[in-house]
Structure 1
């Protein structure tokens, strides 16, 4: 780990934390050595970068308020070792900051550590994604956001156009992009149609809040997850002057964070768009609780993303049209998967049969001769 990237945690935040969460963290403090990461499963760090925020106020910000609330929570019945590495400061250029974030996340991935990133503008998600270069051949990105952030890939990258940059920039590692909680009036029809043409997943805010469990299979298939705080309602954050009155409430955004944590595949997690506008206690507490729920999810993973676990799955075959859909059910968790067939000699991005997380409802629909939409989209992406 490149130690020069990180500035220490403010030691004043440890006052009165007692036997709460702070006591179970390996902390990067000014008067102590950088924490030993041997055996650490989760590493928290902040990134104080916002220069590509199209609505940047220019006001300075830090994560002390969030850390104070997080340190003062009680840990659950957890068995994982955790660390707080401190903050990555702004580099001489935004590219320098991106390099530092990419390097830090990449090093964590190689060590089997899940980074939890607190960030300024969400263009940092691009650096988080690029950390998978050479680590994963194909990557699934889930973004909890009111906007798609596709933007114009021919223009300079910003916090509203980084996804477009991900799509068009080599190496082409992105297999699927899923947007959860988008609000139609914040997205042009051109972008909505582009999401369809690329066979990406898009779930409207009302669709997710109506039945939040609909996104569990999406999270289960994700490698990295990002949350834009703009996806949370101003009321839930305790400030109705924030950008939008609509969005996820506190309970819903914490449930989504827990789904991300409990996914066996999610290997990095970021909360972005923090700025001085969020510098008040209720926002700090909600963000701290989002982190708490993600960590709790990690602690309750089933480790079903392994070859040995899959051997125990129950197999079901469903003839439909000219296809035979193959479903699998875990006898341990009761969760479902559907097989994506290997296509040869086509340019098959997955290179092998792959299992796509799904719901029991998808299996029942198939039994009624209805092809699951996510299976169709994934199969089409695999053929392109």
Structure 2
């Protein structure tokens, strides 16, 4: 059984939870402890798991030994008006080899996908997203991955996998299940022109840091269309982490929490991860805890609109452009927008599960101005490959 791989939360963190005031998360969360073992998981909707593995991070000077700083900060927070039941199941310790850790992470993810429980992974190096991604192999064909990171992490696919090359491995290694990859918050000077060109040729999505800073809502349709999302804490600027070796430019604390809430709201999202937090202390741990809080806040307000049923609770808009008629749907329940992908013609088409693409009102307004929305164009070109 996959849960047998999990080690209990350290006693000091358990005691910290039990010492919190009534109504805090520490008093309401179900904990995996050495004394009591695994908690009752009946009705649990979100699982928190730490992964103490960072050997594939070339910049890591020491093996990550604990993520309890984040846990303790999280236990101190008060929940919102939630009905969501949460459990913290402890840690995955580093295996004898990195591949051993990957095997455990994959087994756990497969288990939670089957149980329809959303795992929130707290990790060391971000290459851990690769075994999480591989867990979908038997569960779902063709998935969308979103990476909130200042780098694309495509790397050199000829070399062994690292925290800077795991996305490249997702793209090139069989089985080919990656339908779409999206990056939120990249900074051009951290990415080679070859990587930028590759993303463009593959019609993947990328939104620069500057564009997100101007309008964080640009990320919402991207996150609404994601099956798994990973946050790299290096995307946060140094001043918001109180960590001297972090990047001077990046998202601020409010922006990263907004992205986390959008991810939680996504009815489609099945796995969420926060990585590269092994170096952070103080404010960094507090921010990681708040990112988790906002994800759960978003989860609590899911509207269950995926898969979208356009036969009810939707307004239909048809916009003629050239020889095309773009069809938009607006939910009367949430006000969110979708655009139809009409170029699904043959049964083997890899887009057959993706008949509706999340968008926003700006895409509709662009179409009214006779401009094809960029994400719609990319989806069409991808279909023609």
Alignment of 1:1-384 (within 5 A): 1-13=1-13, 14-15=15-16, 16-19=19-22, 20-239=24-243, 241-275=244-278, 277-278=279-280, 280-306=281-307, 308=309, 311-345=312-346, 347-351=348-352, 354-384=355-385
Shift of 1:353: 6.1
Distance 2:269 2:106 in 1: 17
Task: Give the secondary structure class of the aligned counterpart of 1:7.
Answer: coil
Shift of 1:121: 0.4
Distance 1:123 1:348 in 2: 30
For the aligned residue pairs, the C-alpha RMSD in angstroms reads 1.4
Shift of 1:11: 2.8
Deviation track 1:179-209 (CA, whole Å, cap 9, x = no partner) reads 0000000000010000100000011100111
Task: Give the secondary structure class of the aligned counterpart of 1:68.
Answer: helix
Instruction: Say whether the 8 Å CA contact 1:50–1:121 is kept in structure 2.
Output: yes
Instruction: Say whether the 8 Å CA contact 1:342–1:348 is kept in structure 2.
Output: no
Q: Structure 1 stretch 204-213 or stretch 241-250: which is displaced more?
A: 241-250
Give the 3 Å change call, closer, same or farther, for CA 347–381 of structure 1 in structure 2. Answer: farther
Aligned positions, number: 381
Instruction: Say whether the 8 Å CA contact 2:234–2:276 is kept in structure 1.
Output: yes
In structure 1, the gaps of 5 or more residues are none
Deviation track 1:225-272 (CA, whole Å, cap 9, x = no partner) reads 000011001110112x12311111110111110010011111110000
Question: TM-score scaled by structure 2?
Answer: 0.96
Task: Give the secondary structure class of the aligned counterpart of 2:45.
Answer: strand
Distance 2:360 2:8 in 1: 44
Question: TM-score scaled by structure 1?
Answer: 0.96
Distance 2:57 2:354 in 1: 40
Task: Give the secondary structure class of the aligned counterpart of 2:346.
Answer: coil
